[in-house]
Structure 1
């Protein structure tokens, strides 16, 4: 009886062959998971979503299937985590290259389903984040990753899919990077030769402009703000008074009035105080940007100054603001040493946060704008001023 029992137990034993590398990788992944969830995910630049929740979404996407595209997400997630934890070094770069190779292997498989497309998009955005979070901006690769992800989403018609919170979070993440990138790209390419394929896919996807576009995860007001900025970028004219006929100018002015009305009616979603403050800063930044870019066609100088004053009051109250777009747009409005100190102090507080990336590029661009304003004996054309300064950069700035 004892012998039979022993044989039965032995027959249930399964031998798993593992190498020393497997054990090391297990310990590495086990040690990395808490950092990804609690620290590295906080550095993900998104709008309308909690970065930590986006990080959890990416972990779920990674574990959905055992495919090359899932391996690409895992490698890119580990690469970003390693970069965030230790700075730029060979191991982080090796993981990035491993992710790219996995994406290449996955793309050779002709039968790519929705899950694989989502994984491709997630891996591409993580690689974009890897480039954005490097201390020195030395290439336009972040823009190419966004363009590639948008092309994949467009080809797969994923924009019309509804009901998947993880998909919504990734789509909104792509949309945010695409729109903010569209702003800087539009100014940068004024004096630069732009690769046509990248230009095409830095444009917004049509489904983001539809009123019925909703997200289960993002605050509707944040999507509305981005959608309105997206619309404006599509039709913005640098010198409407000089380039438009009387009829065109009337139609353009009417559109600007409607856009301004929509922006002023957006209300915070009633979430946390900091979340509402960041949302309000975006709203103020877009209001200022639209009016400045329109050559003050709406003649709202008094209103704009009130928006700017409110923004600097919020800057002084905030502990940090890791989103760079509103800091840059509103910071460029600083005309006095006192206001400029408020902006720089906010940046200094933000850079002390473990999840923050460098604001060096923002500070360089803002200080160049301030210098031009100080030296000018008249009000400079806003479009020309930003384009000359952003266009002087060797690479497209990412202000996410």
Structure 2
């Protein structure tokens, strides 16, 4: 099968929901045809598996997935440092293949993502800084890492591998004090700084019966995160054109991400009730921001904001954006969230009193065979 050029390949939309997903897909294609070594072949077979899956040629897709897994397993045993990025790419592609088959596959995306993280931890140090192609791959992995951490945090039946995965060292392409962390990264939908703060917020979410919940140290951690999230200013890259429809979309989605992260912090980490003034204010801001969007191809902020809908008007606004988003990205996580949001609303409507957010998140996320993917 001829792998499509980035300019029109639908696989680019499976790999990343970003309008700049072609940049990532173009890099992955180049890596897969770099040579005839096993790391290149693993990526090539994985891209082919995604392509055949998109064409609903399931048996052929599984055949290429199997070839990719075999090439990856063999390559890991003798990998050279120069081949690690290719191996990470292949493992991530297989991981994405599984997220699109979460209802039927006997495997789990966490198997492949654990493998990706093992390779990442072998070849990176905590304060490393990456640029260019390496930064693109590292940022892509970090985005999935944070979204998986969120899903696993609210998954009721966690296994040892999932707990280990959620607690592993995070790897970012930019060091802590780099000004580049405030720049909106197209494949993330927000800045690295926002995504890192979300990662820390997820770690600060304790169950109400946890002995550390709302302890002095916990409240200090939450207050610090709240200040940083509320004061964060995300900006576009200096090389990006300003005041274009794409740039406006990018900054609006990044702002929705920030507001969703604040909502999640207030409700889940700080334990604010749904009628708290601080919660009502940020929910209002989130729906104002949502109404400036025709679509949003980022499932996570839509999920968090949707669960805080306070009126039928809010729900209609969310369904409008969801519908347009599905037209652009009809497979995988967006289709999944499109089912999860009405499910959550049904559970809220069935209860006379407000549903505790811990209960609601756990109930909706844990209905699936494996932890759902919010990428």
Aligned to 1:33: 4
Per the alignment, residue 335 of structure 1 pairs with 310
Q: Indicate how the Cα distance of structure 1 residues 151 and 201 shifts in structure 2: closer, same or farther if over 3 A, else same.
A: farther
Shift of 1:223: 0.7
Partner of 2:41: 71
> Post-superposition shift, 1:291?
0.6
Deviation by residue 1:296-319 (Cα, 9 ceiling, x = unmatched): 359992232232223223333322
SS at match of 1:394: coil
Corresponding residue number in structure 2 for 1:197:
161
2:33 maps to 1:98: no
For residues 6-17 of structure 1, the aligned pairs below 5 Å read none
| Long gaps (5+) in structure 1 | 1-27
Normalised by the size of structure 1, how large is the TM-score?
A: 0.80
C-alpha root-mean-square deviation of aligned residues, in Å?
Answer: 3.0
Tell me, in whole angstroms, the C-alpha distance in 2 between the residues paired with 1:354 and 1:238: 34
The whole-number CA distance in structure 2 between the counterparts of 1:156 and 1:274 is: 35
User: Which residue number corresponds to residue 76 of structure 2?
Assistant: 107
Give the CA deviation at 1:88.
Answer: 4.8
Quote the residue 1:145 is aligned against: 112
Q: CA deviation at 1:186?
A: 1.2
Q: 2 CA distance for matches of 1:161 and 1:259?
A: 24
CA contact (8 A) 1:236 1:294 kept: yes
Q: Which residue matches 1:308?
A: 283
Offset of 1:243 from its aligned partner? 2.8
* Range moving further from structure 2, 127-136 or 315-324: 127-136
The answer to whether the 8 A contact 2:108-2:370 is kept is: no
Q: How many residues align?
A: 361
User: Which has more radius of gyration?
Assistant: 1
> Residues 89 and 244 (structure 1 numbering): CA distance in 2 closer, same or farther, change over 3 Å?
closer
Bigger share in helix:
1
Equivalence for 1:243: 211
User: Hey, what does 1:20 align to over in structure 2?
Assistant: none
For 1:382, which of 346, 357, 362 is the aligned residue? 357
In structure 2, distance between residues paired with 1:334 and 1:269: 28
Moved over 6 A (4+): 213-218
Whose relative contact order is higher, 1 or 2, with alpha carbons under 8 Å and at least 6 apart? 1
CA separation of 1:150 and 1:186: change in aligned 2, threshold 3 A: same
User: Which structure 2 residues correspond to residues 49-64 of structure 1 after superposition, within 5 A?
Assistant: 50-64=20-34
Distance 1:355 1:392 in 2: 21
Matching of residue 365 in structure 1 with residue 336 in structure 2: no
